[in-house]
Structure 1
Amino acid sequence: MKIVFSPKFYEVYSSDPAAAPGRMEAIVNELKDYEFVEPERASEEDILLVHTRRHYEWVKSLKLFEIAMLAVRGAIKAALISFEEPAFAAIRPPGHHASPDSCWGFCYFNNVAIAVRKLQRLGKIRKAAIVDFDLHFGDGTANTFENDEDVKYFHMKDVESISEFLERVDFDVIAVSAGFDRHKEDWGNQLETEDYTEIGKIIKEYAEEKCEGRRFAVLEGGYNHKVLGKNVRAFIKGFE
């Protein structure tokens, strides 16, 4: 199990909660016993796998452009690692509210969507399942793949619903939009820390059964720093 991370993700690039100081430190401090690997910067070609040139140029005009490009490559690196072992991309900005030509909700480029498209472009996969357990529906990811029969996006309703989804679809890899804001002490006030371990176990089980274990996860939401790191670690415990 590898953690994809760069110290550059400590940068406070805006005033939104995803960019808050201490957020990434809370995660990294809980994962120190894992192997960390650093991503390179994404290319323009990577972004254009999903986004329009107009959208790319708009993000390019923002102060956070370089960190957003690094986040994209972090997701791609985790996707590529998944062919050898599971991987978790501890990156920001998040991405699941980024559609091909628009974005909102602290997102700029759709990290998971680009990573899946990259695997397709490289000929490594044809079909993918995307499981999103963030509190919020990943409209950007859904919009990206709405006309693509080979990529199925699923936003978790409850823990058991993940099994129902993965049972009925075919895939060559499972990509995970891992948001931790459903926690009892976060915005959603729904899940216990142990529930994230169960989510990880379910995804691992279906990956091993249906796609030779290929699975990777990418950080989305999660805003209470007191519990965020513990929740990420709990998920990884089940996922690895």
Structure 2
Amino acid sequence: MLQLYTHTVCLEHDPGPGHAESPARLRAVLQALDQDRFAMVDRVEAPRATREQLLRVHTAAHIDRILGMTPESGTVRLDEDTLMSPASAEAGLRAAGAVVAAIDAVMKGPASHAFCAVRPPGHHATPDTAMGFCLFNNIAVGAAHAIAVHGLKRVAIADFDVHHGNGTQAIFQHESRVLFISSHQSPLYPGTGSEDERGAGNIINAPLSPGDGSYEFREWWDGALLPRLHAFKPQLVLVSAGFDAHYNDPLADIHLQTEDYAWITERLVALARVHADGRLVSTLEGGYDLSALAASVSAHAGALLSS
């Protein structure tokens, strides 16, 4: 069973005209998931993350800044790329809360897989800084919740966004109960993610060179990343699902095909089946060509639904 977590306020977060991380992204995702093949997906309204849940990975000052920066109209700029509109703080709370609720659902059953169709994305947000379109680190909030509330000892985060999840790495680099695995283009924003960044031995980075495609991506995952994940034997698999490594995406230069997202999803589902009683939660990160994003999400969700 696949559950879909989203909220209408995630469509109202609006960084302004011409911004890559636009509401049109989520509209494209939701339209893709409105196909007949997804008719049996259980749709759930995402709750707000609580302050307690956010404090497990973010400083109080960061939370207060995000919640206190809401403009009455227009936008307020947090950095060159990250802006807030009147609905942004609420959307950020719902995006983080979606991952927490999805983890609760797969831990308790009957759903074993969940996809969080939310925005703003999260994996660049550090403990004390919003950046790279991200306000709160949604996947990190969920992982910390799984440890604190469900008592898990081994939580894996697989991140295949084309940009390195620097915030997730910064949050968990000394937390041995979390294994963070990332494939991403390098060099590229945010400039982190080299192979020698290993944290406490729980960080595995796989840099892809500009121009790399399906072969190099699959070689990294089959040859190094998936074996490392299997050796960790995760009790829960979390996925930062960015679709901006697609060859049509305008913000990077990796040439993945839509089918690559079905391929990696099938392998992560198989991993979860072996080690985690099938428990897998995925959340939307990047993806900025609307047609490619819709097709890639459809491939990803289709693999979650059929596996």
- TM-score, structure 2 normalization: 0.75
SS of the residue corresponding to residue 124 of structure 2 reads: coil
Instruction: Give me the whole-angstrom Cα distance separating, in 2, the residues matched to 1:110 and 1:36.
Output: 23
Describe the SS at the equivalent of 1:17.
Answer: coil
Counterpart of 1:102, as a letter, is T
- 1:49-128 map, 5 Å: 49-63=56-70, 64-83=88-107, 84=109, 85-128=112-155
1:10-38 CA-to-partner distances (Å, cap 9, x unmatched) read 114313422x1321110111112232110
Aligned residue number for residue 148 of structure 1:
175
What number of residue pairs does the alignment pair up? Answer: 239
Q: Secondary structure at the match of 2:10?
A: helix
Query: 5+ unaligned residues in a row in structure 1: which ranges?
Result: none
Is the 8 Å Cα contact of residues 199 and 238 (structure 1) preserved in structure 2? no
CA-to-partner distance for each residue in 1:194-219, whole Å, 9 max, x for gaps?
A: 00000110001110011111111010
Aligned equivalent of 2:20, options 17, 36, 60: 17
CA distance in 2, matches of 1:21, 1:97: 19
1:53 Cα deviation (Å)? 0.5
The question of whether the paired residues in 1 share the 8 Å contact of 2:235 and 2:276 is answered with yes
1:159 Cα offset (Å): 3.0
- Aligned-partner Cα distance in 2 for 1:24–1:209: 32
Query: 2 CA distance for matches of 1:119 and 1:205?
Result: 20
AA of the residue aligned to 2:15: S
Identity of aligned residues (%): 31
SS at match of 2:115: strand
1:159 counterpart residue number: 218
1:5 paired with 2:1, answer no
1:178 aligns with 2:275: no
Q: Which has the larger displacement, 125-134 or 60-69?
A: 60-69
1:29 equivalent among 28, 31, 48: 31
Shift of 1:124: 4.2
Q: Secondary structure at the match of 1:2?
A: strand
Separation (CA, whole Å) in 1 of partners of 2:49 and 2:28: 25
Q: Is the 8 A contact 1:103 1:140 kept in 2?
A: no
Larger mean CA deviation between 117-126 and 218-227 belongs to 117-126
* Residues in 2 aligned to 1:12 and 1:70: alpha-carbon distance in whole angstroms: 11
Amino acid at match of 1:118: H
The 8 Å contact of residues 154 and 232 in structure 2, kept in 1 or not, is answered as: no
Match of 2:231 in 1: 168
The whole-number CA distance in structure 1 between the counterparts of 2:60 and 2:287 is 30
Partner of 2:295: 230
Q: Which ranges of structure 2 fall in alignment gaps of 5 or more residues?
A: 71-87, 184-205, 207-216
Secondary structure in 1 aligned to 2:179? strand
Alignment match, 1:211: 276
Q: Taking structure 1 as the reference length, what is the TM-score of the superposition? A: 0.95
Shift of 1:146: 0.7
CA distance in 2, matches of 1:21, 1:44: 25
Q: Distance in 2 between matches of 1:56 and 1:45?
A: 11
Q: CA deviation at 1:238?
A: 1.9
Which amino acid letter does the alignment assign opposite residue 190 of structure 1?
Answer: H
Per-residue deviation, 1:165: 2.7
Residue 137 (structure 1) aligns with? 164
How much is the aligned-residue C-alpha RMSD, in angstroms? Answer: 1.4
